[in-house]
Structure 1
Amino acid sequence: MSDQSRLNRYDKRRKNTKLITNLSVAGGVLAISLLLIILLPFGGDDAPKAIDGNNQEKQEEKDVQQTEVEVEEIDQEEEEKDEVKVTPSNEENVVEVWEKDWSPVATEQTNHGTILQQGSQDWAEMEEAFRVATGLSEGDMINWWSTRWKGDQSVIGTVSNGAKTEHYKVYVEWIDNEGWKPIKVEVLENNDAPTYS
């Protein structure tokens, strides 16, 4: 799987989220419009009421427009949050760096330990964070090497796809009561794990 196809997958996911949000906004505007049609007075002999009704209608239209603007701003913020920032790297063996405001991987742990043990729940959740950040699937990721980084609450892992053609160094941090959160990914030219053969 190429870097471009992985970025295309992220872009497709972002566009789907945007489409769903836009459809929700359109549905909300339609519902409000129907409600206004039903509830607004249809006129009558009392002229001041008609004027008040027009003023109310204008205010409600203004409120709907304000709501649309707010939803668009939220949508833009979500879109920016969902985008992966790709930066070319000058470091040896690092092709590029991916950064994003990833969400922590949901945890089933009640008490996060300080010792990573292969086969533990902690280990499984850490590897899930590696997969989320790299886009690799569970059956297509090899974890060559993982070690502490900046203390007990952070880990660096070197992983590859099953074909050993894509290599990544993934940085994750533990967030209390939330789980392992990917911080950044370095796309490697060659696997640099000490255990790689």
Structure 2
Amino acid sequence: MTAEQKSSRINKYDKRRKSTKLISFLIVFGIILLISLISIWLFGGGDSTPTEETEQAQNDTTTETGSSTNNKQEDPSSENKGNDGEELEKENKENKEENQEEDQEVTTKEVDPSDDNVVKAYEGDWQPVGTEQEGPHTVNYSEGSQDRKEMTDAIQSATGLVDGNYQEWWIANGGDQKVVATVSDSNQSEVYRVYLSWKDGEGWQPTKIELLKENDWKKYQ
């Protein structure tokens, strides 16, 4: 074997050895890369799904809890509104009764009765009840009118009768800008004839009250 042939043979061997090493290196590198990818997929990507599911479950639980809490809070709110309305109505009624009691603290003097059906008659310094009406005043006897409501307020302030224990039997003309009314409590144990006079800008003012023996409203029909 010549030296040239020997050298060529050695070169082929070296090339084959280098190629084998390169292939081995690439195989090892590929295996490592594959293992890394599998590890990432198993331990990294695998955790994301349960975490998302857990977060979703927690959000759903929070939403349900919030909805339940809101529902529970709505009922007391509705009850409070109802209770507030009842308390306000009760307070207004009490205030009205207190105002009427204060209005009753007036100076009165007994006067001669106008007829035989009167037990006692007296005049007093009652104050006008106020008015929401403006301009020239015309007496309006129609039920539900502002004038009629203010007449009722004046009568109740003078007699002490209140809504729920009050009955109007008759309201009629008592003269120029004056009215006379027959009223009583619910069971007619107290029957009054009340005289009112209109004060411009101030409303109806009680001027005289007569306590009657019996309800005489029928004679005015």
Residue of structure 2 in register with 1:110 after alignment: 134
- Percent identical among aligned pairs is 40
3-state DSSP of counterpart to 1:139: coil
Is contact 1:144-1:195 (8 Å) kept? no
TM-score by length of 1: 0.55
List aligned pairs for 1:18-57, cutoff 5 A: none
Is contact 2:139-2:147 (8 Å) kept? no
Distance 1:177 1:161, change over 3 A: same
Residue of structure 2 in register with 1:139 after alignment: 164
Residue of structure 1 in register with 2:123 after alignment: 99
Is contact 1:88-1:95 (8 Å) kept? no
3-state DSSP of counterpart to 1:105: coil
3-state DSSP of counterpart to 1:140: coil
Distance 1:10 1:100, change over 3 A: farther
Equivalent of 1:166 in 190, 200, 212: 190
Instruction: Kindly indicate whether residue 141 of structure 2 is the aligned counterpart of residue 130 of structure 1.
Output: no
3-state DSSP of counterpart to 1:171: strand
Residue of structure 1 in register with 2:217 after alignment: 193
**1:85 offset after TM fit, Å?**
1.9
TM-score by length of 2: 0.49
3-state DSSP of counterpart to 2:149: helix
**1:139 offset after TM fit, Å?**
2.1
Is contact 1:10-1:83 (8 Å) kept? no
Q: Which amino acid aligns with 1:129?
A: A
3-state DSSP of counterpart to 1:125: helix
Is contact 1:173-1:181 (8 Å) kept? yes
**1:117 offset after TM fit, Å?**
1.3
**1:118 offset after TM fit, Å?**
1.1
Is contact 2:141-2:171 (8 Å) kept? no
Q: Distance in 1 between matches of 2:153 and 2:111?
A: 24
Q: Which amino acid aligns with 1:149?
A: G
3-state DSSP of counterpart to 1:118: coil
For CA contacts below 8 A with separation 6 or more, give which structure has more relative contact order: 1
Distance 1:113 1:90, change over 3 A: closer
**1:10 offset after TM fit, Å?**
6.6
**1:87 offset after TM fit, Å?**
4.2
Q: Distance in 2 between matches of 1:129 and 1:158?
A: 13
- Unmatched tracts of structure 2, length 5 or more: 1-99
Instruction: Kindly indicate whether residue 187 of structure 2 is the aligned counterpart of residue 179 of structure 1.
Output: no
Per-residue deviation, residues 149-192 of structure 1 (Å, max 9, x unmatched): 113x1100000101111100000011001100001001000000
Q: Figure out how many residues of one structure are paired with residues of the other and give that number.
A: 119
Q: Which amino acid aligns with 2:189?
A: T
**1:195 offset after TM fit, Å?**
7.8
Q: How well do the aligned residues superpose, as a CA RMSD in angstroms? A: 2.4
Residue of structure 2 in register with 1:31 after alignment: none
Distance 1:184 1:90, change over 3 A: closer
Is contact 2:184-2:190 (8 Å) kept? yes
Per-residue deviation, residues 14-60 of structure 1 (Å, max 9, x unmatched): 5xxxxxxxxxxxxxxxxxxxxxxxxxxxxxxxxxxxxxxxxxxxxxx
**1:88 offset after TM fit, Å?**
6.4
